[in-house]
Amino acid sequence: ESLSRKMAAKCWNKSILTILLLGFLPFSLEEVSFCQYYLNSTVVANFDNETNLFEDFDFDFQSSLVENEYIVTFKGYYSSDTRRKYISTILKSSHVEDWSIVSRENEMAKFPSDFSIVKLFCNDKVAIDALMSHPLIAHVVPQKKVTRIIPHDNNENWYDTIVSNWHRRKLTEVSKLDDMSSEDLHPGHHWYAGRRLLRAIPKQITSVLQADVLWSRGYSGKGVKVAIFDTGLSKYHSHFKNVMERTDWTNEHTLDDSLGHGTFVAGVIASASDCLGFAPDAELYIFRVFTNNQVSYTSWFLDAFNYAILKGINVLNLSIGGPDFLDRPFVEKVWELTANGLIMVSAIGNDGPLYGTLNNPADMMDVIGVGGITFEDTIAKFSSRGMTTWEIPLGYGRVKPDIVTYGSGVHGSGINGRCRSLSGTSVASPVVAGAVALLYSAVRSELVNPASMKQALMASAQPLKGANMFEQGHGKLDLLRAFHVLSTYKPQASLSPGYIDWHDKTYMWPYSSQPLYYGALPIVVNVTVLNGMGPKGKIAEPPIWQPYTLSNGLYLDLSFKYSPVLWPWSGYLAISLSVTKEAMTFEGEAKGHVLVKISSPPKGGEEQVSVIRLPIRVLITPTPLRTKRILWDQFHNLHYPSGYFPRDDLHIKNDPLDWNGDHIHTNFKDMYTAIRNLGYFIEVNGSPFTCIDATQYGALMITTGFLCPGALMIVDSEDEYSTEEIEKIKNDVEKQGLSLIVISDWYNTEVMMKIKFFDENTRQWWMPSTGGANVPALNDLLKSWNIAFSDEVLSGEYLIGDRTVYFGSGVGIQSFPNAGFQLPVNLNDEAMEILHGKKSLVKNVPILGLYQVPGGGRIVVYGDSNCLDNAHQQRDCYWLLGKLLLYATTGRVPDFPYSDSIRKIKRREPSRMNNLLYHYSRVVNASGHIKSLVCPHLAWVKPKPLNITSTSVPFKQLNLLADGMQDGCCLKEVAILHPESPVHSDPSHWIMLGIVSVIVLVYFVSKLQRRRRRRMCTRKLKMFYGDCPTRLI
């Protein structure tokens, strides 16, 4: 302890310049001292490019802000006295007197730390500004209270008790096997009691994955330090033989597990008896970070993470998660952990089957994110799906989970010393963590690091049939194949996904669901770069696009955007694809590949270099008619965790935040599929309206005199619109003939004030930034045509013909042109029920309007998006959307019961409640002024064509190599279980060869048959006919 303190003090007395220089030096866990751990960790945590990751994010955790408490993060590690002196000096100089530092009594209290918790009782803004202005302080963020919920099957209404805790980090266990089947899980955030048992489940998960094969070779996790962050573990549990240390980071001062979650997780990883774990000889370090009430705090995790670094932990399991990827101290500390070589495994979440429900930290590039499957090798219904929502709306999300494994009905240790069965991604996560610990002990190489381990797991994973990459990642965990890859591994970089292929229709969804065409907005594929050569690296040269001239590759334009620094162990490569004008009428496929050169600092000599080839094959179709083209507005959709954006349906009390991205490939996935099935093509617009080229979608006058335009869809938007955008849309509709479809949701300031009390800890902080949609902004956009939504909150069901339509917390139409069509219905006044507890029926309230702009396009407005949104959808209305699209693009008026007897009661237009939205807006700044909206500019790279076809380039996942690169550039494909096997040629060659072989075989068989029949005829029938009749030959 004394030595550690002296070393830390000595290190942190060095200049900032020295520290920054040290950050560029290579290091390994075996070689660095206590001091170097902290130096390297802190340096890499402050690269400029990493701070940009917090712009334009979305998120979902179960966490709430703690009133008056702030985490002050320093740029280095200091003793508690030193940190107190710095804070005291800063606040006193700013005349802030009413404050205190919250004491933390845990194992890290004896060591230097990089943060303090400050309680501010007044002058919060002055104090925060003063602290943030100090050069030694990185940032100041509110302390978060973290609550994890373990559902119990004996109370079907258990979810009603978590209204105030829904968005916190939570344990990702589902339930006991005996009480629940994964097939019976409700498709939302929460689950009900099971109705039937699963089929017989294997007793030992280790046997299913063949861990006993590695045990027979003497590998059992010995010497590997595994940290389990959970609910603790009993000291005398009979299943564990190598518990090195138990620490408590809560305020309950106990080390035991009264819930059973931590015991189960530890058992899957390292149980040595009964229900066996994967690494029974691993050294267990138990971190109790949750109380008996499943409560934790961000600061508890930060201290525990620092202690894990100090202890030199090799593998860390987090069977927890939530959507708040903007919990900056937590996210940065995870980066610091992996930068120090610690392999983190985390559950992807139990919010499936809805897309866009990935949990943090499993959605981070340097973490192994694990999803769950059943023993039938199907994706578990509860397992969260991608894509990541960090990048929306400016791009497409990344592929997550990384891999999947068994998480339904797995046997593990119970707190009573016996075995139990649980389901959930918190079960799948320790399966992978245990496998990682076992592999770590089997390989025992300095080449094993967070990236190389992740590369080995993904390269060896077995793809599942019928699942796309946002469901299964790279496939199912294969322990023995991973062992083979890792034992022959050479440092290199790799990509995820490892290929882009529109022909792989199931796995490559959603890209494969729609061909490219000239004039469309570019589609973005966000590729993750993994760097197994070191924690720090870079894309050394701009990526090279090499189209195959004989395979129409020159019909594709590509643009690249990529991480300036790969840290820790990873980065991104965003590839924008577009079709050239020469392919306007072309239908077919285009092929080529991208070459990416990755470099890392030298290890014992030369700079490390890895060149990766990314095969690309896309389908191209002729540019469709404008009447078939739909533009989806993504730019104006905002979501949690950037701010408090409430759920669109106020009846959903157990999941009140809108956190799924509002993207056509996340919570609007089924709507997208329905539109594509109707023959429409959908493009995602992630830029301001001023950037839209309306000539691509506007009306085209045909011979009959009718306008056939495309349409702009604005669904459930939360952001503002600039004056220029409003004027641009007005001009596009009236002069370019663009049609406009606006689907809104509720907005009522009194209701917004009411729902701020969902969480008692967050009253001060969690005032809604807007309603279900930003109705005042939509009214500004529609004002030119005398169209406006009201401030009513309406709910219920209504009939159109024999079809029932669900209307959940929607809004009525306040004003509409007399020349248009309006659909009035009877609905419940939900605002009256929420505010006063009284039920009231609103009659003849218009909720749908159709309007033909004279000489221009058409406008459709509708008051609710819930029947289009997969999140807690009661009943879909895709059939209704199809009719609205038909009207917008052809003018065919749906046969609905329109009426002129609209309710004449004066309704109010909603007014803006506050300027909280401005803090998160992409259009308006914090002071309420319009930002300078810039249109994205893509620089298309100059292609370097190859005069070849793709016959030598297999369009499938490239496997990791044991022998690095071939010919200095392209990776040679090696069969994982048979590295000595030759390079395979294009599968199409083998198919053709097989066809030819069959034809030749059939020919010779027929010849033999004819000869045989002729001989038989000669012997047996010649006596009757004198010769063989022709009909017998």
pLDDT tens digits along 395-447 = 688 999 999 999 999 999 999 999 999 999 999 999 999 999 999 999 988 89
Assess whether pLDDT exceeds 50 at residue 730. Answer: yes
Helix (H) or strand (E) holding 207: helix 205-208
Assess whether pLDDT exceeds 60 at residue 762. Answer: no
Please report how many Cα atoms fall inside a 13 Å half-sphere around the Cα of residue 708, on the Cβ side. 12
Assess whether pLDDT exceeds 50 at residue 718. Answer: yes
Neighbour order of strands in the sheet with 175-176: 175-176, 419-423, 410-413
Residue 131 phi/psi, 5-degree rounding, is -65, -40
pLDDT category at 183 given cuts 50, 70, 90 is very low
Assess whether pLDDT exceeds 70 at residue 6. Answer: no
Q: Which of 295-299, 793-797, 798-802, 1025-1029 has the lowest mean pLDDT?
A: 1025-1029
Closest CA to 260 of 290, 298, 226: 290
Q: Enter the tokens of residue 154.
A: 């004996």
Closest CA to 96 of 71, 69, 129: 129
DSSP one-letter code for 307: H
Pairing of strands 813-815, 821-829: unpaired
pLDDT category at 45 given cuts 50, 70, 90 is very low
Tell me how far the alpha carbon of residue 168 is from its chain's centroid. 17
**In angstroms, rounded to a whole number, what is the distance separating the alpha carbons of residues 324 and 86?**
30
Tell me how far the alpha carbon of residue 198 is from its chain's centroid. 29
Assess whether pLDDT exceeds 60 at residue 40. Answer: no
Tell me how far the alpha carbon of residue 792 is from its chain's centroid. 34
Q: Which of 192-201, 275-284, 722-731, 739-748 has the lowest mean pLDDT?
A: 192-201
Report the pLDDT value the prediction gives residue 904, as an integer from 0 to 100.
56
Report the pLDDT value the prediction gives residue 1011, as an integer from 0 to 100.
66
**In angstroms, rounded to a whole number, what is the distance separating the alpha carbons of residues 794 and 724?**
32
pLDDT category at 26 given cuts 50, 70, 90 is very low
Q: Enter the tokens of residue 978.
A: 């048979």
pLDDT category at 163 given cuts 50, 70, 90 is very low
Paired residues of 557 in beta bridges: 578
H-type helices in 96-183, by residue range?
124-132
Assess whether pLDDT exceeds 70 at residue 797. Answer: yes
- Secondary structure percentages of the chain, helix, strand, coil, to 5: 30, 25, 50
- Say if residue 783 is exposed, middle or buried (CB neighbours under 10 Å; 0-12, 13-18, 19+): middle
**In angstroms, rounded to a whole number, what is the distance separating the alpha carbons of residues 754 and 768?**
10
Q: Which of 113, 116, 175, 426 is catalytic?
A: 426
pLDDT category at 125 given cuts 50, 70, 90 is confident
Q: Enter the tokens of residue 147.
A: 């609550």
Report the pLDDT value the prediction gives residue 902, as an integer from 0 to 100.
66
Q: Enter the tokens of residue 634.
A: 């993504």
Neighbour order of strands in the sheet with 629-633: 681-685, 629-633, 711-715, 739-743, 858-862, 841-852, 821-829, 794-800, 803-810
Assess whether pLDDT exceeds 50 at residue 77. Answer: yes
Paired residues of 421 in beta bridges: 411
Report the pLDDT value the prediction gives residue 527, as an integer from 0 to 100.
97
Report the pLDDT value the prediction gives residue 114, as an integer from 0 to 100.
95
Paired residues of 140 in beta bridges: 72
For the chain, the straight-line distance linking the first and the last C-alpha, in angstroms and rounded, comes to: 99
> Per this entry, what is the length of the chain?
1033
**In angstroms, rounded to a whole number, what is the distance separating the alpha carbons of residues 404 and 57?**
25
Assess whether pLDDT exceeds 50 at residue 219. Answer: yes
- Say if residue 218 is exposed, middle or buried (CB neighbours under 10 Å; 0-12, 13-18, 19+): exposed
**In angstroms, rounded to a whole number, what is the distance separating the alpha carbons of residues 881 and 980?**
56
Q: Which of 49-53, 540-544, 982-986 has the lowest mean pLDDT?
A: 49-53
**Strand, coil or helix: 176:** strand
381 contact partners, CB below 8 Å, separation of at least 6: 182, 183, 185, 187, 352, 353
Report the pLDDT value the prediction gives residue 456, as an integer from 0 to 100.
98
Q: Which of 286-290, 969-973, 1023-1027 has the lowest mean pLDDT?
A: 969-973
Assess whether pLDDT exceeds 70 at residue 650. Answer: yes
| Residue 238 annotated among the catalytic residues of the structure | no
Q: Which of 230, 327, 363, 662 is catalytic?
A: 230
pLDDT category at 957 given cuts 50, 70, 90 is very low
Query: Which residue has better confidence, 391 or 641?
Result: 391
Report the pLDDT value the prediction gives residue 982, as an integer from 0 to 100.
32
Query: Which residue has better confidence, 255 or 900?
Result: 255
| Residue 230 annotated among the catalytic residues of the structure | yes
Please state, for a pLDDT cut of 70, what percent of the chain lies above it: 78
Q: Which of 6-15, 289-298, 524-533, 688-697 has the lowest mean pLDDT?
A: 6-15
Report the pLDDT value the prediction gives residue 1025, as an integer from 0 to 100.
36
Report the pLDDT value the prediction gives residue 13, as an integer from 0 to 100.
36
Closest CA to 523 of 472, 579, 460: 579
pLDDT category at 929 given cuts 50, 70, 90 is confident
Assess whether pLDDT exceeds 50 at residue 597. Answer: yes
- Residue identified by tokens 């189209």 is 547
Largest CA distance in the chain: 126
1005 contact partners, CB below 8 Å, separation of at least 6: none
Assess whether pLDDT exceeds 80 at residue 1009. Answer: no
pLDDT tens for 625-644 read: 999 999 999 999 987 766 77
**In angstroms, rounded to a whole number, what is the distance separating the alpha carbons of residues 748 and 329?**
34
Please state, for a pLDDT cut of 90, what percent of the chain lies above it: 63
